[in-house]
Amino acid sequence: MTYCVLGIGNPGSEYAHTKHNIGWWVVDELARRHDIALKRERLRARYGRGRVKSVDVVLAQPLTYVNASGDAALRLAVFFRIRPANFIIVLDDMNLEPGAVRLRPGGSDGGHRGLRSIIEVFGTTEVPRLRVGIGSPPEGKRAVEWVLSPFAEDVRPVVDEAITRAADCIEVALTQGLPTAMSQFNG
């Protein structure tokens, strides 16, 4: 059985260091750890296939921009014959403080348009997702400005730790199941 870890983000150098791309950073960390090259670019995604521990996995980063992430997710699902329940969507979350990670087996999109796009194309809310906290915008700053800006330098160590914890969480979810990963990492 093959799984897909799909990190939501925006393509292009102008977005590479923005909060909205934290899903890509987690996928990059998993690719580095497990020596999976993310060099194929088709199916509206950059992806690589390999193993995380003993599990066959596709690591992917949509090349569609956040709001159209469902297009890449659906193409990957069809091409690799992966059910929605065998995806783990990694995304930023303004409702969680920087450093927090929260794994869920399904539920609403929580206002995240990329996750909404994936839920719409799959036709189900039962798509596992790992939310990584980016904190909420300060008063007077619009959400779009917040997610498309980089983290402040003083927050970056906390974010780097969250990326490590998110990758650890995904490894546990893939090898021991979502309930075990949720009990270890949701705090």
Q: Which of 17, 20, 34, 112 is catalytic?
A: 20
Residue 51's alpha-carbon distances to 36, 59, 72, 74, 129, in angstroms, are 8, 10, 21, 21, 20
Tokens of 179: 């309930």
Catalytic, 34? Answer: no
Write b or e for each residue in 59-76: b if 16 or more Cβ atoms lie within 10 A of its Cβ, otherwise e.
bbbbbbbbebbbbbbbbb
The conformational region for residue 183 under phi > 0 = left, psi -120 to 50 = alpha, else beta, is alpha
CA 89 to chain centroid, in Å, comes to: 4
Give the number of other CB atoms < 10 A from CB of residue 185: 19
Residue 33: HSE in the Cβ half-sphere, 13 Å Cα cutoff: 18
Q: Which residues participate in catalysis according to the annotation?
A: 20
